[in-house]
Amino acid sequence: MAFKALFLAHAPDADYEKHNNVIDTGKYKLFTVVVKNQNEAIKVSKSIYKKEKIDAIMLCPGFTHNDVSEIFQALEGKVSVNVARGDGPSNKISQPVIQREYFNK
């Protein structure tokens, strides 16, 4: 039985039904999905948990502490929920690109 994980990321132009993928090594099954907002993140998380009984969810740095809590509660504490956060220098590198692509259009 494989360890199953979901990685969720945000993008303003995402279509979660189109922007998703699965990598399956046999021992590790990784679902990746890009969502527009928190409501979609919860919907996708619940759906994949129901179908696949995932063990963990990893979130991109754009998710807030409240978002993490909402996802954890929506899955009734049955799934580990983690956030990928960079260090200070890494955040300084990525922030201008995120600002340009997500907010200045």
CATH number of 3-103: 3.40.50
Instruction: Give me the sign of the Cα torsion angle 15, 64, 62, 7.
Output: negative
At 104, the pLDDT band (50, 70, 90 cuts) reads: confident
The pTM of the full predicted model, rounded to 2 decimals, is: 0.88
Model pLDDT for residues 39-65, shown as the tens digit of each residue: 999 999 999 999 999 999 999 988 999
pLDDT category at 105 given cuts 50, 70, 90 is low
Q: Crossing angle, helix 38-52 and helix 65-74, to 10 degrees?
A: 30
Domain-by-domain residue ranges, the chain? Answer: 3-103
Give the residue among 37, 45, 32, 36 at the shortest CA–CA distance from 15.
36
